[in-house]
Every structure is written in structure tokens, then in C-alpha cells.
Structure 1
Amino acid sequence: MSRPTASARPDPHMEITALILADLEQGVPPWTRPWAAEAPVSRPLRHDGQPYHGVNVLTLWAHAARRGYHRPHWMTFRQALALGGAVRKGEKGVSVIYAATVSRVDETSEVADDRRGGRFLKRYTVFNLDQIDGLEDRYPQPIAPPVAHRIATAETFFAATGADIRVGGDLACYRPDADTVHMPRFDLFPDAEAYYAVLAHEMTHWTGHGSRLNRDLTLGRFGDEAYAREELIAELGAAFVCADLGLTLEPRPDHAAYIASWLKVLRNDKRFIVAAAAHAERAARWLSGDRPSD
């Protein structure tokens, strides 16, 4: 049997976008759904405890929510075997991706997609710990730290960024012209996690300043495509930061209006969700202090 041609191979960008669109069309962003479960808030984790990054976080969150998984760890079939476990018969895995570089185009390769500029997305299949037998002792059930500890960690985290955060008024926003973040008073939010979720969103905008990650922050009006793109980056950045801090990312009251604009952007550009997740990942790393050297 001949190998599929490059044009016949599934496009990872389109598959991921279709997954995200399906959830958004139901009004439920996949980056908020994991926290309806009883499991502690977390990024998806590899077999060695290292977190997944970028669009793989969204992919694994979405599949975990759909299938009812409550464990953060994911691994390949062979990794499970090497650790002394076994994927149960009939279980279906999830494809995750990574960017690879090639010196030339190999049309006979099994890997998928996007070789423009010598780069392409390569995929492999992973299984959730809930699909695997024999690893219960190696991966005990995770326990969330006390709320007070998580809040104290969040305070330290945002203070360490050095951002000019001004509290007062009734509007949460980032002002690029003044390079200032504005937040309503803490007590005006329903709980502490809601406050830090909004702050993480605005701080993701803050990372886009020309002196930092230099994203285009000339946003125009609500509903414009540029506005929707930056808002999606900020929302994903907030999700990544909150997951790293163990905090619940609660849906904002204005999510319905934002979802409509995100749907339009993703339907028009099947590759943007991967780019948006990459921007959000860089923002989360910047906020954590993981910054490029000068």
C-alpha cells in the first residue's frame, strides 16, 4: 500500500481547531471546563511530571473533560509499559504534537503538516493515567494545596513581575499607552480566585508591550479581528498561569460576547489556535520570570 501524499494527510492545525470550535460552539471554552471536575487544577503532565505546553494543553484539557478523566498525567503506550503499567485493551489515545525542523522536504514521511520554512508538526499518541492499569502506586491521587497557600503564592507571583498594577475603579484593563494594569478592588470580586483570574488575563496583555514580547496591541474596537485575536491570547495566557498557580479560571461574565468573536477568528484561520497558544505560553513564561536573556 502506498503512503498518503502530503495533501492527503490529516492537518493537525485543522484537527485541533475543530476540537476547540466544537466546544466553543457549545459555549464552553475547553480551558475552563477541567475545573468543573474534582481534581486539583493543573496543566496536563508528562509521565515524568513535566508539564505540557502550548496548544497541547488545550487539546488534552478538552479530551479530559469530554471523557471524564481526572488525572493530570499522560504518556505513550511504551512509556506506560516501561513504568510497569499497561494501557487497557480498547482504550483510545489522544494525538499531541511538537514542532520539528527538517533540512529538506521528504514526501514519503509519515509525519504531518506544515513544512514551510523547514518546520512541520509531528504527532504522537498519549493515554491518560485513567486509561492505564498498574501505576496507582507510582502516581498517587493529587491533592490541591489549601486555598490560602495558593492565594499567597499568587500574590508573590504577580508582585515579582514588577508590573505597575493600580487598584481602584470598576474596570479591569491594561493601558499600553501608560503601560499600567488597572484592577477593581479585591473585595468587589466574588472570591479571590476570580480576582487573580482577571489579573492573569490583564497581565497577559501587559506582556505584549514593545519592551517585553512586542505583540501588536493596537486592538481597535471590540469585535474587530485584531481585538479578538489578542483577547484569545490573553484568555489562554490566564488559563496557563492559573493552572500553574493551582487556581480556578472562572468564566468571565462577558464570555458569551467574546466566544462569538473567537469563533469567527478560528473559522477564518485554522492555524491561529496553535499560534495563539504559543503566544500565551510565551506570556506565561515571561510572567513566571522565564525570559530571554538580553
Structure 2
Amino acid sequence: MTRPQTDSRPLHERITAAIIADLERGVRPWTRPWSDDRSGVVSLPLRSTGEPYRGINVLLLWTEAVARCYRDPTWMTFRQALALGGHVRKGEHGAAVIYAGRVGEGRSDDEGETSEDRRRPWFLKAYTVFNLAQIEDLPEAFYAAREAADRAPFDPIATAERFFAATGAEVRHGGGQAFYLPSRDYVQMPPLDAFDDAQAYYATRGHETVHWTGHPRRVSRDFSSARFGDEGYAMEELVAELGAAFLCADLALALTPRTEHADYIGHWLKVLRNDPRAIFTAASHAQKAVDYLHDLQT
């Protein structure tokens, strides 16, 4: 009997290959209707504690959710389900998420690192999680909390307005284009009535505000070159795309892809094919940008 072949490529290459396959079909895996209804509102995948996943794991679990038609955002390990009194149904297959750390230490980020820590190489380790839809007999609080959240009144537009105002980013309205101008350090937006709806306006504003975070006085993000069509420009646009997706999930906004961004898919494919780690880099920068914007909230 012939044994099925396993994919022996490193983890980061397998993940990047899956994202490339989506992009080759014209599908951006961060701009799908990640919601419990047809409103298009996006939500972050959650751990068993209710804490959101971050960075590349958001993309991995979003992709799994849409592929398997999962509507609940909560994911947990086999042992976490057992510890909570539940169990994964027999025959269910989990989804891979990753843990990033440095060789010889247990931290997954740079907080509190010494210079010696930073010289240690990074490693990626995969582990398996299961969606709430695959798990039985969990405490009723898991389901009750979700139902309460579904019923809770929430005005995502008002929340978005407060969020973007608190960043302090200068925004000018007028004309027919949305962009961030680094030399003058302001965001240019068409007027609200130029958009199909307010949701589209705030999703676009999120994209441009992520660009705004890259200024040297903020997170100081620099991909060396940023001319249209080159890899530096493509990476910056990919960071802004992912950052806008993360923000829309945080603010319960619909995420409608901007038509002009379809032109970037070819550039992103070139970047990802040249560097299988590029999507990890972009997701990390996007998460840092979004964290920075949240830190500005009062």
C-alpha cells in the first residue's frame, strides 16, 4: 500500500504557500465575511479565555473558519476542552496555529528581552486547536456569553468615530482619493458621502491610519523603498491591508475590499514567492500598528 505523502516543507513555507494559492485565485484571505450573519462584520478568533489571537494566527484561523463553515470565533486545544469539562468529538480534525519564541527562552515577544536574548534565533512551533463547533459538553457560560453578545446593543460607527478621533491623526476630507502623505503627515479621505456606506468609509480610514503609524515618530516602520510597484511598496500595502482587517475585527466593522487594491495582488504574490517569511513579517508589523493605535485610546 502506498502511504500518503506528507508535506515536509518548513511550517512558514507551508503557510505562505496556502496564502499564495488564495491570492492566485484572486482571494485575499483577510477580506472575507468573517461574521455570524451576512452583514460582513468581522471578529477576531478567540482563545478559551476570551483573549483574541494575534498576528499570523488571526489569518490562519480566519482561513480555517471559512473553509469549514465555522461561525463561532472560539478555539481551544484538546486539553483545554477537557479541563473545562468538555471533549472534542471523535473524528474531528483541528487547525494549526503557531507559537513563536527564541531558542533557550520561553517568551513569545520582545518584552523584557536583554541584548543577549535578542541574539538568539527565533523558532516556530505549531500546535492544534479546535473550534467550539467541534467540542461538546462545555460549560453553558460559553454559549450564554455568545448569545448575550449577539443581543447586546452596539453602534460600530460611533465606536469607530471615537477610536479614530483618539489617535490624533490629522485627516483632511475632499477629492476622490484616499491616501496617507508621509511628507506632510496627514491622511486624505474623500467625503463620507463618496462611499457606498459608512462602514466602507471607516474600513478605508483604518487602512490609511495604519499607514500613518509607520511615521518615524510612531512605530517607525521602514521597508527601505516604497515606490509604486516595488517590493517595499507592496510590503507596506500588505501591512496596511492586514492592519485594516485586524482593526475592522476589533471595531466590529464590515470589511469591503477596495477595488483599486486588486491591482496589488500581483505585487504581493511576487513578495511572498521571493520570501516565504514575508507574510509573517507583514502580520507582525500590522499587529504592532494596531496595538499602537489602541494604546492611543483614552
Q: TM-score range by the shorter chain?
A: 0.7 to 0.9
After TM superposition, the score normalised by the length of structure 1 is 0.87
Code of the residue aligned with 1:12 in structure 2: it is L
CA drift of 1:37 comes to 5.4
Confirm or deny: 8 A CA contact 1:237 1:281 kept in the other structure.
yes
CA drift of 1:10 comes to 4.3
Residue 72 (structure 2) pairs with residue 65 (structure 1): no
Residue 195 (structure 2) pairs with residue 189 (structure 1): yes
Confirm or deny: 8 A CA contact 1:208 1:217 kept in the other structure.
no
118-127 vs 30-39, which deviates more? 30-39
* Structure-to-structure mapping, 1:68-83, within 5 angstroms: 68-83=69-84
Confirm or deny: 8 A CA contact 2:211 2:240 kept in the other structure.
yes
Q: Quote the RMSD (CA, aligned, Å).
A: 2.2
**1:166-212 deviations in whole A, cap 9, x for unaligned?**
11111100000001011000111001110011000000000000001
Instruction: State the match for 1:208 in structure 2.
Output: 214
* Structure-to-structure mapping, 1:33-48, within 5 angstroms: 33-35=32-34, 38=37, 41-48=42-49
Aligned partner of residue 267 in structure 2, secondary structure: helix
**1:91-128 deviations in whole A, cap 9, x for unaligned?**
11111112112239xxxxxxxxxx98332112211011
Instruction: State the match for 2:128 in structure 1.
Output: 125
User: Aligned pairs, how many?
Assistant: 273
Confirm or deny: 8 A CA contact 1:23 1:29 kept in the other structure.
yes
Structure-1 separation of matches of 2:99 and 2:200: 32
Structure-1 separation of matches of 2:183 and 2:294: 24
Confirm or deny: 8 A CA contact 1:103 1:118 kept in the other structure.
no
Residue 181 (structure 2) pairs with residue 199 (structure 1): no
Q: Which runs of 5+ in 2 are unaligned?
A: 1-6, 106-117
| Aligned pair partner of 2:234 in 217, 228, 235 | 228
After TM superposition, the score normalised by the length of structure 2 is 0.86
Instruction: State the match for 2:86 in structure 1.
Output: 85
Confirm or deny: 8 A CA contact 1:34 1:64 kept in the other structure.
no
Structure-1 separation of matches of 2:124 and 2:34: 29
Q: Specify whether residues 73 and 18 from structure 1 end up closer, same or farther in structure 2 by C-alpha distance, changes over 3 A only.
A: same
Code of the residue aligned with 1:128 in structure 2: it is N
Residue identity (%): 58
Aligned partner of residue 43 in structure 1, secondary structure: coil
* Structure-to-structure mapping, 1:130-209, within 5 angstroms: 130-135=133-138, 137-140=140-143, 141=146, 142-143=149-150, 149-209=155-215
Structure-2 separation of matches of 1:26 and 1:188: 29
